[in-house]
Amino acid sequence: MLIPSIDLRGGKIVQLVQGERLALESADIDGWIDRFRSFEKVQLIDLDAALGSGDNLDLVRHICTELPCRVGGGIRTTERARLLLDAGATRIIVGSAFFTGEGPDLEAASRFTTALGVERVIAAVDSRGGEVVVRGWTSRVPLATVDAVRALEPWCAEFLYTHVETEGLMGGIDMAAVRAIRLVTDRRIAAAGGVTTRTEIATLEAMRVDAVVGMAVYTGRLPLDEASGSG
């Protein structure tokens, strides 16, 4: 399944290269909503909230009323998670809150699943050099991504795995890295980080992994008429 990604910063849709360099931005929020209406799932990330530099809550509310969005970015408390669910999010993506500087924070994970129900929680495991990175990919946790997935599996219904080294480059995702994650969990997985072609999406589908795609869709490298909202 292809899941289109909407990243918000400063009230606009943006695409960044490896979370740093701005590659494109669009203020045409409703136009992109219309383009994504046929998709079964949409990933919506508030980058300002993730970096602690404000938020785009009004826009998140608006988009969630129009599209079936799993929402992430700066969700560090169960109160914030409930606010986003009340705003219309179908599931909540939690990343930094599930880790300390040393490893997985299972007490925090337990709080989220107790408050929200495990079926509404997606654990984000972002990888740089095979280790977890958090807080908008600015801080490294000395923990292998596969070990993070093993530890967090009881506390989520799904994983979002982002391969940071290839994010935004449209050069393909590291299939071996995704396969390593697939081998250690039975949970559903969505993978992000450079996915560009229908062939890659089909390869991920064969592994029972959904493909989160941003840059390739916004630049037209992957035309939406080639993309499928089901699978």
| CATH number of 85's domain | 3.20.20.70
Look at residue 152 and tell me if it is in a domain: yes
Q: How far apart are CA 103 and CA 91, in angstroms?
A: 24
Say if strands 131-134 and 139-144 run parallel, antiparallel, or are unpaired: antiparallel
pLDDT tier for residue 228 given thresholds of 50, 70 and 90? low
Taking only the tens place, the pLDDT of each residue in 110-160 is 999 999 999 999 999 999 999 999 988 888 999 999 999 999 999 999 999
Is residue 172 within 8 Å of residue 203, measured between CB atoms? no
Active site residues per annotation:
7, 126
Is residue 126 within 8 Å of residue 133, measured between CB atoms? yes
pLDDT at 230: 43
> Domain range spanning residue 132?
2-226
pLDDT at residue 165 tops 50 = yes
pLDDT at 225: 78
pLDDT at residue 229 tops 70 = no
Is residue 3 within 8 Å of residue 210, measured between CB atoms? yes
Look at residue 16 and tell me if it is in a domain: yes
pLDDT at 226: 63
Structure tokens at 152: 């967090």
Look at residue 147 and tell me if it is in a domain: yes
Look at residue 6 and tell me if it is in a domain: yes
pLDDT tier for residue 19 given thresholds of 50, 70 and 90? confident
Look at residue 169 and tell me if it is in a domain: yes
Look at residue 77 and tell me if it is in a domain: yes
Domain count across the chain: 1
Q: Torsion angle, CA of 180/185/187/191, rounded to 10 degrees?
A: -10
> Could you give the percent of the chain with pLDDT greater than 90?
90
Average pLDDT of the segment spanning 206-216: 97
More confident residue, 137 or 161: 161
Taking only the tens place, the pLDDT of each residue in 56-65 is 999 999 999 9
pLDDT at 231: 43
> Could you give the percent of the chain with pLDDT greater than 70?
97
Average pLDDT of the segment spanning 182-208: 97
pTM, two decimal places: 0.94
Look at residue 231 and tell me if it is in a domain: no
